[in-house]
Structure 1
Amino acid sequence: MKIAVLSCLVAAVCCAPQFQRPSLQDRDFIAILSDERQDQGDGSFAYVFEAANGIRENRVGSVGSKGQSNMQGTYLFPLPDGTFAEVRYVADEFGFRAESPLIPTDHPLPAHAIEQIRFAEEQRARGVTF
């Protein structure tokens, strides 16, 4: 029994796809057009990056009220149709918040769900608990 299990294990390992590291000639290199960084030494910084394939990012950071890094910026990247996606973001003591037309948004609640929520809040206000 042990030999059968061992044989199956060896066969599975031998049949697994082999990974080959691509050579330097096989890789696509993207030229970096600009990479500017400023560090004020007190936790605040500025960063601008642009690559030849259209990827761009800029970010500004400062020390937050609770010692965290507060950041805000934008990044852009090309889409398959030739247009660019842009994401604006803020990261601070209130969390990470991003804005972009590509980010899905919540659907509005249907009227019956809103009515159920209102009814539950009414009952809660009257002291009804379940």
Structure 2
Amino acid sequence: MQLVILACLAAVAVAAPQQYHYYDRPDYRHIAILRDEREDRGDGNFRYEFETENGIQVNAVGTPGSKGQSNIQGFYSFPLDDGTVAQVSYIADEFGFRAESPLIPTPHPLPAHAIEQIRIAEEQRRQGIVWD
């Protein structure tokens, strides 16, 4: 009976899920932080900057917003595989999150005839014309 219990415990131990850590990967390499500066004034104003040895940079400044939110303005950049550096600037405030970067896709511009149709429709709305 003791042998059966021991065999069951051994089976449970072997079947237990194994934990996987990203640093267990063979391609894992520790990246050193070259600079890490943080300031929190305790009144909703803060700033932080950091830079890593592989070229990642982050910078942000925060202030209290008019509607109780934190307004944050900053940027982050990182190296791409082709050797160029990607940079994204952003603002987050009561109007939402807005990011700017050449990497962010933009919609194609409207053709001239579509812009003209929109102008005509707006003019008709101003004149009170209503379509069913």
Specify if TM > 0.5: yes
Indicate the residue corresponding to 1:105 in structure 2. 106
2:79 maps to 1:81: no
Report SS of the residue matched to 2:67.
coil
Question: Residues of 2 paired with 1:115 and 1:25: CA distance?
Answer: 57
- Please give the alpha-carbon distance, in whole angstroms, between the structure 1 residues aligned to 2:73 and 2:122: 37
Q: How does 1:17-32 map to 2 (within 5 A)?
A: 21-22=20-21, 24=24, 26=26, 27-32=28-33
Partner of 2:119: 118
- One-letter amino acid matched to 2:56: I
Query: What's the counterpart of residue 44 of structure 1?
Result: 45
Structure-2 change in CA distance of 1:127 and 1:72 (3 Å): same
RMSD of aligned C-alpha atoms?
A: 1.9
When Rg is computed on C-alpha atoms for both structures, the one with the higher figure is 2
- Per the TM alignment, residue 28 of structure 1 is displaced from its structure 2 partner at its CA by 2.4
**Structure 1 CA distance for aligned equivalents of residues 71 and 123 of structure 2:** 40
Q: Measure, in 2, the Cα distance between the counterparts of 1:98 and 1:71.
A: 12
Q: Secondary structure at the match of 1:54?
A: coil
How far the C-alpha of 1:30 sits from its partner, in A, is 1.3
Take 2:89 and 2:48, find their aligned partners in 1: how far apart are those partners? Answer: 15
Aligned residues: 112
Distance 1:20 1:67 in 2: 41
Moved over 6 A (4+): none
Once the two structures are superposed, residues 72-120 of structure 1 have per-residue CA deviations (whole angstroms, 9 ceiling, x without a partner) of: 1111100111110111111111211212111122222101111211222
TM-score with structure 2 length normalisation? 0.75
- Where does structure 2 lack aligned partners over 5 or more consecutive residues? 1-17
Between the aligned partners of 1:42 and 1:20, the Cα distance in structure 2 is 41
Structure 1 residues 14-39: Cα deviation after superposition (integer angstroms, max 9, x where no partner): xxxxx972563633221111211111
> Normalising to structure 1: TM-score of the pair?
0.76
